[in-house]
Every structure is written in structure tokens, then in C-alpha cells.
Amino acid sequence: MIQLYLDYKKDLLKANDTLTQIETIYTNSLANSLWHLDRDQLTIQITGISKLPDVEYISINELREGDKYLFYEVGNKKITNALTKTIALKYVEAQEELSIGLLEVKINLDNIYQRLWDRILVILMTQTVKTFLVSLCIMFIIYVIVTRKIVEISRYASEMTPGSLDRPIEITKIDNSKDEIDLLVNSINDMRINLKSYIGMRDKAEAKLQEYKDHLEELVHKRTKELQNKNVILQEKIEEIKNFQDKLIAQEKLASLGSLTSGIAHELNNPLNFIINFSKACVEALDEANELLKQDLNQEQRTELNYVVSDILSMNKEITQHGKRAEEIIKSMLEHSRHNKMSFTKTDINELIEENLKFAGQAIRAKYDGFSANIMKNFDEGLPPLKVVRADISRVFLNLFSNALYSMKKKKDLLGHSYVPQLKISTSHNNGLITIQVRDNGLGIKEENRNRIFTPFFTTKAAGEGTGLGLSLSFDIINKVHDGHIELDTLENEFAQFTITIPVNSAKINIPEERSGQE
């Protein structure tokens, strides 16, 4: 590379010397020929200049009154890589120097670059030949010293079998000196001896292993038979556990129904009292009417009879009304007690909440005399009817309300009159989802119990006061049956809030409506 750079600088220096030579030798003669307008002489002189190395373009411009006029031109002016020099042509007359023209000379640098490339190609070719010859010599030396021996080692390794381990590897050597290949040969021979020893040990181990294998097969067969017997027993136990779990779930549903008993008894007592009282009044009125009918009636008695008949009709109407009320209560009770196949019916969620809230309130008041809570309801009156399994959703609401009232009762026992129980219930409809929130300011739930609250058989109530299945069943009813979601937000000793979301249109519940058997 340095040599190429020096050659390049040398060629540039020659080009500059050529320009200097033209300026020194040809300037005066060219100025004289231009002054006398001797074109033939100029042609001879410029031809001589053009024969100088790498001169590509020559032009002479005549100066008249400050302007330039091309007088003579030869060569290619439009070269891209050029070394250009402009020389003033001066003529001396009567000891006065006159500028009469300009000589412009261009040397083509492409010629210099081409010579440089030619040198590069020559160097590359010679170096390639040298490298090839040196490599050939090195390869021959390596073959004699290394490759030939490695080929013999490779052949020995490829032909090596467990039966040929008695034959050592032997390498043909030119002299008795030792090198790395000899060390490799010794290592391979040592490996051969070790392999032979290891194979013998392996054969013994395989024989022992086969003995163990035969014994193991016998043990496995024996243990498999024992496991099969245990699996039969385990399957029976699993069936027993499933049956027991079904019984527990049924008991939880019965417990949910049992918590309604006192409330329903109170609800039934009112209409039944009305029915009994109005029935007695009807009997008395009918006796009075019979007495009047036995007599010859005057106008005043007829008026009195009409009044009695009117009272009887009014009391019969009341009896019918309270009888229907008792019938509705009994139907609601039957809904809670049903556990047959699912039946989705269009239901007014607000109305269902009101109904179960009343049952839960009556039950807690019957169990804990004198307890009451402030109920704050914020219902969306525009809530669309929702297809649900009415009995199942009633169980969910009743469980949430009963748990909330129970928690507030326990907190009331701890804090006394300074504590005001509050139960907030709200419903809303947004983006195709119906949301129900139940929030109480009771004892809340401990943080360590938060993730277990929906686990079957987990309860925070005292022994005998809960089965631990209520919220687990509620979770399955909302999530699995109604394609919804139930979640808990709580702070211990502050509040507990359950949020239920159920889609209005779900693929799981968007099925043809069935009659629930209540009509």
C-alpha cells in the first residue's frame, strides 16, 4: 500500500513538472506566434505540447480590451479528473510587457489512476501466485507431519469395535522424535485399555441389572395388583365423598330455607289473622241478615239489610286479597325449596331483591329480638327483565342479606348503641350488564380470609352457625349458571361489599324461556 501511495505521488509530481516545463519552454514562443497570428507555428508548438505525457487539453485565448476570445483549441475539454493550469502569454515590445492571451493546459488524472490500477493488478497477481506456492508447500509439510498421522488415527478410530480393543494403534514415523501426535496416540491407546475395562464392567453390571429387572417385574406386578385393589377402595371413598358433598349442599339449601321459616311464619300470620277476623265478622253479619229475612221487612230494615250485605261483600273481598297474599308467600317458599332442573324465567330483579330482603329481615328479627338496620335502596327503575333461575338467584340474595345482617348484629353486640347498622343495596344497567351491589358496615372480612371466602366449607361464623357452603353455592350460581361474576371488596371492621354482574344477553342463558311451574 505504501509503494502504491508513493507511485501515485510520483505520478502527480511528474504531472506538475510537465506543467512547469510547458510554462518554462513554450510560453515565449507561443506568445510570439500569437502576437503575429501565426497559426501554423502555433499548431506545431501545441502539437509538441500535446505529445507530453498525460496532456489531454490545450487552449489559447486571445485578450482584447479586457475580453477573452478563443483563438486555438485542441483535445478533450470535458474531462472530469484533471490537473489544470492557466499560463499568461506576454509579449515584450519596446521594453513594454503586454498580456496578449492565456494558455490553459489540462492533464488527465484518469491516466494516472489507470496506471495505479494496473500496478495494483500486477501486485495482486504476483502476490496470489506467491501465496499459492507458499500454501502448497505448507500443506505438503502439514500432510507429512500431521495430516497423514491423523488419517491413520481416524481410520483406526472408525474401525474400532469392542472386539478389536486388543489391537493398539501404531503410527508410521520418519524419525524417532516425539511430538503432539505421539501424545495423542498414547492417549488413544490408554483410552482403548480403559474402554476394554469399562466394557467388562458394563457386561457385569448388565447381567446384575437383568437380575434386578426380573425381580423388579415381579415386585411391580405385585404392587400393581395392590394398587388396583386400593384404587377400587379409593373410588368407593370418592363416591362416598361426592354423596356426602351432595348431602351437604342439600342441607345448605335446607338451611337457607330454614332461615326463612320465622320470617315466613310472621308474614303468613298477618293475612291469616285478617282472614280469621273477617270470617267471624262475615258469620255474624250473615246471622244478622238471616234474622232480618225472617221478618216482614219495611224500608228501614231493607236499607239495613243492604248495608249488611255490602259489609259481607267487602269482607269477602278482604278475605280473598289476604288469601292471595298467603298464596304468594307459600309460592315464594316453594321456590326456595325447589332443587330440580334449571328453569330460566324473565324476572324483575328489583322485585326479587325486595322479596328476599323482606324474608331475611323477618328472619333476623325473629332470631334476634329487637335488632334492626337502616336499609338504603338505590334501584334502577329502568332495569330490563333478566332471564334467571329464580330460585337460585333468590338463594344468592337471601344468603348475602342474611350474612350482612348477621355481621351487623355481631358488631352491634360489640359496640352497643354507638353503632348504627346500615345496609346499602343498589342496582344498575350499563353496557349490557346488570350490576347488583350489597354493602354493609358490619365486621368486614379479614385480609387473610379474603381469597378463601368462596371456598366450599369455609366460614367465618361460629361453630354451628354456618356450613360454609352459602357463598360457594352463590359463586357457582352466578359464575357457572348465569355466566356472571361476583366479587368481594372489604375492609376488616369497616365494611363488606359484594358486587354481582350478570349479562342481559348471554349465550349460556339466552335460551327459550321455560315455564317455572308457578303459574
Contacts of 193 (CB under 8 A, 6+ apart): 165
pLDDT, averaged across the chain: 79
pLDDT at 506: 72
Over range 24-43, report the average pLDDT.
81
* pLDDT tens for each residue of 88-102: 888 777 777 778 788
3-state secondary structure 80-111: CCEEEEEEEEEEEECCEEEEEEEEEEEEEHHH
> Does residue 514 surpass a pLDDT of 50?
no
Tell me how far CA of residue 355 lies from CA of 67, 219, 303, 360, 397, in angstroms.
116, 66, 44, 9, 10
pLDDT band at 374 (very low <50, low <70, confident <90, very high): very high
Single-letter amino acid code for the residue at 435: T
> Does residue 219 surpass a pLDDT of 60?
yes
pLDDT at 152: 76
Give the C-alpha separation, 11 to 112, whole Å.
6
pTM for the model:
0.43
Stretch among 78-87, 269-278, 478-487, 501-510 having the lowest mean pLDDT: 269-278
Q: List beta partners, residue 92.
A: 97
pLDDT at 221: 85
Question: According to the per-residue pLDDT averaged within each range, which of 239-243, 337-341, 396-400 is highest?
Answer: 396-400
* Inter-residue contact 26 to 45 (CB < 8 Å): yes
pLDDT at 325: 61
Single-letter amino acid code for the residue at 352: L
Over range 267-273, report the average pLDDT.
62
End-to-end CA, the chain: 107
Q: Which CATH superfamily is domain 344-503 in?
A: Histidine kinase-like ATPase, C-terminal domain (3.30.565.10)
> Does residue 13 surpass a pLDDT of 50?
yes
pLDDT at 404: 93
pLDDT at 430: 94
Tell me how far CA of residue 51 lies from CA of 9, 22, 68, 88, 428, in angstroms.
22, 11, 26, 21, 104
Give percent of the chain with pLDDT exceeding 90: 19
Stretch among 94-98, 195-199, 479-483 having the lowest mean pLDDT: 94-98
pLDDT band at 515 (very low <50, low <70, confident <90, very high): very low
pLDDT at 44: 84
Closest C-alpha to 440, from 454, 462, 425: 425
pLDDT at 294: 65
Contacts of 119 (CB under 8 A, 6+ apart): 4, 7
Over range 53-78, report the average pLDDT.
81
Distance of alpha carbon 24 from its chain centroid, rounded? 85
pLDDT band at 265 (very low <50, low <70, confident <90, very high): low
Give the C-alpha separation, 15 to 11, whole Å.
6
Residue 86 in grid coordinates: 492557466
Stretch among 50-64, 82-96, 170-184, 416-430 having the lowest mean pLDDT: 170-184
Q: Is the Cα torsion angle 439, 443, 447, 449 positive or negative in sign?
A: negative
> Does residue 160 surpass a pLDDT of 90?
no
> How many C-beta atoms lie closer than 10 Å to residue 61's C-beta?
20
- Burial of 344 per CB tally in 10 Å (0-12, 13-18, 19+): buried
User: Phi and psi dihedrals of 56, rounded to 5?
Assistant: -110, -30
Residue 69 in grid coordinates: 476570445
pLDDT at 262: 52
Q: Which residue has the higher pLDDT, 505 or 349?
A: 349
Q: Which residue has the higher pLDDT, 189 or 384?
A: 384
Stretch among 255-259, 295-299, 488-492 having the lowest mean pLDDT: 255-259
